[in-house]
């Protein structure tokens, strides 16, 4: 369960957003509406001017990124010098989690990680699949996916598989997308309009 009320001024732009939901949440809005700013505030990359972030009833507003149990995935998210198999378990190793091989295989199959090699040599779509898979395996409480689905082919199928895996491990997800149709696959849909959040369902 994620509950936020956040205010942030960046130059002439003012974000004043509220969100309170769980499971698979879609966030849409035009370019410059504040989607990335909102995710960066929730993820701890930006500090809010005012407001709070509650995750599963815990106040995380002022925690550093690494202590939030929130994983932010963007199209640039990866650790380029690793190979695919080491990358997949890198986050879990940081958290000293014991991950069953079967679960790793299930994530790889579900998210279409049927490639190997050095991460820096992968295509953008492959890196996005890998970044999301790595994040899932590291078992955060919340995943923030910022435009990191758009380069994945067959992405409606990918979203379905991702949603099922996240639900299985009880990870909440907020994802932004350029495609309004993606919201049909989500449990909740919010739209940002000039920095103000509107709950669609």
Partner 1 sequence: MNWLKLISTFSLALLIVPVFLLIYEGFGPLSEPIGYSYEVFRAIELTLISSAISAAISVAVFTPLAYYLARNKNSLGETLSAIPASIPHPIIGVAILVIVSPLTPFGRFLLSIGINFFNTYLGLITALTIVSAPIYINSMQLFFQSMNVAHENYALGLGASKFRTFVSVALPNSGRGILSASLISMSRAMSEFGSISIVAYYVLQQPFYGVSPAPVLIFQYYTYYGLGAAVTASAVMILVSIAMMIILRLVNHDNSK
Binding site for partner 1 (CB under 8 A): 43, 45, 64-66, 68-74, 76-81, 90-91, 94-95, 131, 134-135, 138, 140
Least distance in angstroms from the C-beta of 189 to partner 1: 24
Q: Look at strands 2-10 and 13-21 and give their pairing.
A: antiparallel
Is the Cβ–Cβ distance between 190 and 27 less than 8 Å?
Answer: yes
| 13 vs 89: CA distance, rounded Å | 38
* Nearest CB to partner 1, comparing residues 138 and 183: 138
Phi-psi region of 57 (alpha: psi -120 to 50; beta: other; left: phi over 0): left
Least distance in angstroms from the C-beta of 102 to partner 1: 21
* Nearest CB to partner 1, comparing residues 17 and 143: 143
Least distance in angstroms from the C-beta of 181 to partner 1: 26
* Nearest CB to partner 1, comparing residues 80 and 180: 80
- Our CA dihedral for 40, 177, 175, 120, rounded to 10 degrees, sits at -70
| 17 vs 174: CA distance, rounded Å | 14
Least distance in angstroms from the C-beta of 11 to partner 1: 18
Both structure tokens of 166:
């996240």
Residue 179 has, within 13 A of its CA and on its CB side, a CA count of 14
Least distance in angstroms from the C-beta of 48 to partner 1: 17
* Nearest CB to partner 1, comparing residues 119 and 189: 119
* Nearest CB to partner 1, comparing residues 138 and 197: 138
Helix (H) or strand (E) holding 53: strand 50-55
């Amino acid at each position: 369960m994620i509950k936020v009320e956040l205010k942030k001024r960046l130059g002439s732009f003012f974000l004043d957003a509220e969100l309170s939901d769980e499971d698979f949440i879609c966030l849409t809005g035009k370019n410059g509406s504040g989607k990335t700013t909102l995710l960066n505030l929730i993820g701890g990359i930006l500090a809010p001017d005012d407001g709070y972030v509650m995750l599963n009833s815990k106040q995380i507003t002022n925690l550093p990124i690494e202590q939030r149990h929130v994983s932010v995935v963007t199209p640039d998210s990866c650790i380029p010098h690793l190979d695919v198999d080491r990358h997949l378990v890198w986050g879990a190793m940081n958290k000293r989690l014991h991950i069953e091989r079967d679960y790793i295989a299930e994530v790889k199959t579900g998210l279409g990680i049927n490639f190997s090699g050095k991460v820096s040599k992968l295509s953008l779509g492959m890196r996005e699949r890998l970044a999301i898979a790595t994040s899932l395996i590291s078992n955060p409480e919340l995943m923030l996916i910022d435009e990191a689905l758009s380069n994945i082919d067959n992405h409606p199928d990918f979203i379905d598989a991702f949603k099922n895996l996240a639900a299985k491990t009880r990870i909440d997800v907020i994802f932004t997308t350029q495609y309004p149709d993606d919201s049909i696959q989500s449990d909740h849909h919010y739209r940002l309009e000039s920095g103000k959040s509107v709950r669609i369902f």
